[in-house]
Amino acid sequence: MEEKQFSGILNGAVPGEPVKKDENSRRGNWGNQIEFVLTSVGYAVGLGNVWRFPYLCYRNGGGAFMFPYFIMLVFCGIPLFFLELSFGQFTSLGCLGVWKVSPMFKGVGYGMMVVSTYIGIYYNVVICIAFYYFFMSMTNLLPWTYCNNPWNTPDCAGVVGTPRANATFANVSAVVSGVTEIVNRTKRTSPSEEYWRNYVLNVSDGIGDFGEVRLPILGCLAVSWVVVFLCLIRGVKSSGKVVYFTATFPYVVLTILFIRGITLEGAVSGIKYYLTPQWEKILDAKVWGDAASQIFYSLGCAWGGLITMASYNKFHNNCFRDSIIISVTNCGTSVYAGFVIFSILGFMANHLGVDVSEVADHGPGLAFVAYPEALTLLPISPLWSLLFFFMLILLGLGTQFCLLETLVTAVVDEIGTDWIIKNKTYVTLGVAVIGFLLGVPLTTRAGIYWLLLMDNYAASFSLVVISCIMCICIMYVYGHKKYFKDVEMMLGFPPPVFFRICWRFVFLIQFFPPESGFSISLNQIFFLFSYKPITYNDYVYPSWSLVIGFFMALSSVICIPIYALFKIAVSEGSTFLERLKNSVKPDPTWGPALQEHRKGRYATTGPESVEVCPLKEDLKNEGTAMWSSSLGDVRLTALLFTGSL
């Protein structure tokens, strides 16, 4: 009876619970594969698909931008997506635990955690602002429709005229004259922009002038974190149910807005402006840099979230199929969202008699200024505003769920005791509270400056560095042949040849490009993209703030060499070379989590089986003998990695 109980624990079962076939009962799995796909779609499809991709597309050559975008998707996005999914699924561990494959590279996992922390902090602030606009849309008249509010300035000029007590057909002349005045101005200040800048944010004069906390935004930030916590209170078991709604309903809203948008006058001109190719821009390196940055940022590669989500899959799940479905869905959503956005902006440009470029914007400017202003022109504008901001909330929450789960899973896997696993809810609560407190400075009057600084620098060129080093570790330190066999053992077929080539050579070429006048590495493109000083409207960021931004970008990358030096220093060996070799050897517990999947070179015989899940405290002494008898064989197996160095 005791032996059976001990065997059950080795197979991942919590004492007292039945052991299920291919089910990691101790750590947990997705309820079904649809939950994983929807969660990953929700993670990849976020605010950037709506407020960043359409703008990048029209700014970088319209339809011509699609060419470098899909090139980056095929050669970088999908292969890296598949690599991260297979990496996490094979070991059933988060972004820290997976580096048992080569402990010296665990700093890559810490770098992923740093990136996820930065993004999780400011991403929820954006969600909370969407919450605020959602609540403010519950009215008969949107508050950013007219210029007769206390926060408006004399320069304000609306697009729907001036409100009158008894509106009649005569008001049309007032509207026309108002539009004429707007067109004749060299620079128009819209009521939506002044509502956003002067009322919602009450923006200060600079990034160093924090001012007071905006209490309505702070309250919405608390609401946002509470919603995220409640949806993750039981880990993937609860979030997997929530995503049935949060991952699918945004498509319903997008479709409603698209149908409404294309029926408006001027919508076709907006869509043409969005898609008309400017082929001469293809040769511009920055266009390729924007394409690369959008692929990495949108898919969530190198954030740690993909590894974490895949770690809750069952061992034999077809993650290759999932990577294709999720990546294509994500990029297709970006293109689809462009039609939705530019159909409405085309209508607004037609209404004002100006070019689409004069009303197009990106980032917060699109989500909280340009698009809301366009919605004021529609009948029943509060309804469309509610739908739009509800969609933004759901898009943001889908990403935020995975960012928080990434950090929680990393902490739980790293500690690994039964108590921490059973009380994972407290870890989730702790991470949520810390995230809320770190987000408070972003709710001050200078919050928008810091939010944009983090958005530009926290996840920039560091994503490429992290991705390339991950590929180097798996393909060249651990060994590509070993990893291909691992994937084949897990999926039943080896990785396709195209993915093997991309994993082994494409990323290496990007990191160490051949010295040619015609070659530009992806890493160099990212440097070019990130090095451009950022601005907010007419405000130019001071040099000291840009230094902080670069330190944010470097803080995730610096984890890699720091931890590598630490690991080498504490590894066994009398010389540096010996310690280096020992530090890159796979951990004895590297491999599939469940004993039933440990076959081939991972297989052991008899009761001396090694399980990656830590044993209960009260069974440690009982298991010491088994560990001692098998450790030597496992270390011999691990030494095979040297053939790939």
Tell me how far apart the alpha carbons of residues 593 and 611 are, in angstroms, rounded to a whole number: 7
Q: In sequence order, which ranges of 22-77 are alpha helices (DSSP H)?
A: 33-44, 47-51, 53-59, 66-72
> Is residue 304 a known part of a binding site?
no
* Cβ atoms of 560 and 106 closer than 8 Å: no
Q: Which residue has the tokens 């969530």?
A: 300
Distance from chain centroid for Cα 135:
26
So what's the pLDDT on residue 642? 35
Among residues 205, 24, 110, which one has the least CA distance to residue 597?
24
187 three-class SS? coil
* Domains annotated on the chain, with CATH: 33-152+187-584 (1.20.1740)
So what's the pLDDT on residue 1? 43
Distance from chain centroid for Cα 487:
25
So what's the pLDDT on residue 132? 96
* Cβ atoms of 89 and 319 closer than 8 Å: yes
> For residue 516, how many other CB atoms are within 10 A of its CB?
7
* Cβ atoms of 298 and 49 closer than 8 Å: yes
Continuous segment of H or E residues that includes residue 540: strand 539-540
User: Strand runs (DSSP E) across 111-210, as ranges?
Assistant: none
So what's the pLDDT on residue 510? 53
349-354 LR contacts (CB < 8 Å, sep 24+): 349/266, 349/269, 349/270, 350/265, 350/266, 350/269, 350/270, 351/159, 351/179, 351/266, 351/377, 352/159, 352/179, 352/182, 352/183, 353/179, 353/183, 354/183
Instruction: Work out whether strand 539-540 and strand 535-536 pair parallel, antiparallel, or are unpaired.
Output: antiparallel
Tell me how far apart the alpha carbons of residues 411 and 495 are, in angstroms, rounded to a whole number: 31
* Cβ atoms of 104 and 583 closer than 8 Å: yes
> For residue 580, how many other CB atoms are within 10 A of its CB?
16
Tell me how far apart the alpha carbons of residues 11 and 6 are, in angstroms, rounded to a whole number: 9
Among residues 335, 360, 355, which one has the least CA distance to residue 345?
360
Tell me how far apart the alpha carbons of residues 361 and 348 are, in angstroms, rounded to a whole number: 13
Tell me how far apart the alpha carbons of residues 217 and 440 are, in angstroms, rounded to a whole number: 9
**How far, CA to CA in Å, does 297 sit from each of 303, 306, 610?**
9, 12, 38
So what's the pLDDT on residue 628? 41
> Is residue 395 a known part of a binding site?
yes
The values of phi and psi at residue 535, to 5°, are -135, 160
> Is residue 102 a known part of a binding site?
no
> Is residue 298 a known part of a binding site?
yes
Tell me how far apart the alpha carbons of residues 288 and 70 are, in angstroms, rounded to a whole number: 11
Q: Which two tokens stand for residue 413?
A: 């896997």
> Is residue 152 a known part of a binding site?
no
Among residues 142, 60, 182, 180, which one has the least CA distance to residue 371?
142
Among residues 410, 370, 464, which one has the least CA distance to residue 120?
410
Q: In sequence order, which ranges of 185-304 are alpha helices (DSSP H)?
A: 191-194, 215-231, 236-246, 249-262, 267-275, 285-299
Among residues 253, 293, 220, which one has the least CA distance to residue 72?
293
Q: Which residue has the tokens 């081939």?
A: 600
Cβ neighbours of residue 445 under 8 Å, at least 6 residues apart? Answer: 201, 202, 203, 204, 209, 210, 211, 212, 214
Buried/exposed code over 395-416 (b: 16+ C-beta within 10 A; e: otherwise): bbbbbbbbbbbbbbbbbbbeeb
Among residues 73, 103, 100, which one has the least CA distance to residue 87?
100
Instruction: Give mean pLDDT in consecutive 10-residue pieces for the chain, a chain of 645 residues.
Output: 41 40 73 90 89 83 87 91 95 93 95 94 95 95 91 83 42 40 55 92 92 94 96 85 91 93 91 87 81 84 91 93 94 92 88 80 80 89 94 93 93 87 91 96 94 84 85 93 94 94 75 40 46 75 91 92 95 92 92 87 56 39 39 36 35
Tell me how far apart the alpha carbons of residues 528 and 511 are, in angstroms, rounded to a whole number: 15
